[in-house]
Amino acid sequence: MTASEVRSLFAVASRPEVVSLAGGMPNISGLPLDVVGSLVNDLVAKRGMTALQYGSGQGDPALREQICDVMRPVGIVAHPDDVTVTVGSQQALDLVTRIFIDPGDVILAEAPSYVGALGTFRSYQASVVHVEMDEHGLVPERLSAAIAAVRASGKTIKFLYTIPSYHNPAGVTMTASRRAEVLEISRRADVLVIEDDPYGLLGFDGEVPRAIRADDAEQVIYLGSFSKTFAPGLRVGWALAPHAVREKLVLAAENSVLCPPAFSQLTVSEYLAGHDWMAQVKDFRETYRERRDAMLEALDDLMPAGAHWTRPSGGFYVWLTLPDGIDAKAMLPRAVTNRVAYVPGTAFFADGFGSRSMRLSYCYPTPERIREGVRRLAQVIEQEMEL
Ligand code: PMP
């Protein structure tokens, strides 16, 4: 295990004078704390003996039913028996990896991919093979080619890990036709798909992409989370898995945490039952859309020629590629001196690629700070181009 580049950055980036476009912290300032506060009070008063007790390893049954409702907008019709509640979707990633991976097994993942997943994969000694993506998401032909190449080398592919909607860090969304193709290729090659979807409801165009899992309950394990649509501090996520896998997931979960925290689960459950959660999600969408607009506008106005970036239709991130010859990691100390931080692209590859790229997050800073951050970043890039 090694510290991720994101992690070692947090100390510097959190200084108040630095505009951090680095972290992916959700903006929870819109949460009604008074509502959550009285809900928690009531929870302890009325259901304290359950909320403060151990619970089921698979998770609270009522919450698992509510999670099935939460997945309806992305087209998923599921049975609560197939849902396992986890400590954030990060634990679901850990459990899935633990169940499937023997050292040296191959995981296919987009290039770039989520840094937290790469860390988990590495900790189980999986070998990650990246598959190219473009502005429409994972490229199906590249997926077929990667499967063939890995198998020709005699290695075992255990699964494809994909973030089809509002990708972290790439900021792109897989089109519907690509989703169908990726599913078809995975079926034919018998490669399990891990669909990681924490941002799926946070689209800005009023449209919610249909999950890959909506079209195949056997080939796909779907991971969800309340971290971006409610509160990451509660650490409540889930895995929706075919029956046989679900049994192993629960065993693995019990071996690691006995059960997910009852208190957090019941807090989420009461919130979903008693409040207009979808209205809250819409508010989050509005906030992030405004910030996405601020970032794209600032980039359009201020970035020097030669830089290019993605235009996300949801989620938290823009992926920016620097003009030829500039290394994002080498530039970072100078950016921090100029009071702006980002995550260098190499953090999102298992194999050292991505040195010309960076992830910019617009989720946390205000629109004004985003513009100021982009202004400082553009200055540093221009200085770098003069060197
Ligand atoms: N997957 C992706 C793609 C993420 O961006 C994150 C959080 N940054 C997670 C999983 C983990 O989220 P959590 O454990 O809070 O549910």
**Residue 161 beta carbon below 6 angstroms from any ligand 1 atom:** no
Taking Cα atoms as reference points, which of 382, 379, 374, 380 lies closest to residue 20? 374
pLDDT tens digits along 102-117: 999 999 999 999 999 9
d(CA 228, CA 295): 19
d(CA 41, CA 59): 22
**Rg of the chain's alpha carbons, rounded to an integer?**
21
Atom of ligand 1 nearest to the CA of 89: 16
pLDDT for the residue numbered 9 = 64
**Residue 264 beta carbon below 6 angstroms from any ligand 1 atom:** no
d(CA 86, CA 314): 24
**Residue 225 beta carbon below 6 angstroms from any ligand 1 atom:** yes
Determine the length of the chain. Answer: 387
pLDDT for the residue numbered 310 = 98
pLDDT for the residue numbered 170 = 98
Secondary structure element (H or E) that encloses residue 369, with its range? helix 367-386
Dihedral sign, Cα of residue 326, residue 329, residue 335, residue 337: negative
**Residue 88 beta carbon below 6 angstroms from any ligand 1 atom:** yes
pLDDT for the residue numbered 11 = 76
pLDDT for the residue numbered 5 = 60
The pTM score is 0.97
pLDDT for the residue numbered 2 = 73
Helix, strand, or coil here: 132? strand
pLDDT tens digits along 176-209: 999 999 999 999 999 999 999 999 999 999 889 9
Helix, strand, or coil here: 383? helix
pLDDT < 50: residue spans in the chain: none
User: What Å distances lie between residue 337 and 179, 329, 372, CA to CA?
Assistant: 42, 14, 14
Taking Cα atoms as reference points, which of 245, 250, 199 lies closest to residue 225? 199
**Residue 13 beta carbon below 6 angstroms from any ligand 1 atom:** no
Atom of ligand 1 nearest to the CA of 235: 15
| Interface ipTM | 0.99
Angle 25-31-32 (CA atoms, 0-180°, nearest 5)?
Answer: 160
